[in-house]
Amino acid sequence: MASTESGYLVLDGLGAFITAGPVAAALVVLVFVVSASYFVYGRLVHLRDLLRRPVEELEQDSHVDEMDER
């Protein structure tokens, strides 16, 4: 559970509920959605860049990675 002693939100454990009101809950959801969207966007941009590169260049990168491991 959560307690709001002296105006502060205190979370007791991972399953705590936010009792500060619907505005705080909406803000938490908004932050999560923006963070997840930014992460997915970054992964898609990276994938798009990989798909645009020629196969020969990707094979050369894999050979360089193998040499670095040795």
Q: At 3, give phi and psi (nearest 5°).
A: -125, 150
Tell me the β-bridge partners of 3: 10
- Which residue ranges make up each domain of the chain? 22-70
Amino acid residing at 57: E
pLDDT of residue 14: 43
In terms of average pLDDT, the best of 17-26, 29-38, 57-66 is 29-38
Whole-model pTM above 0.75? no
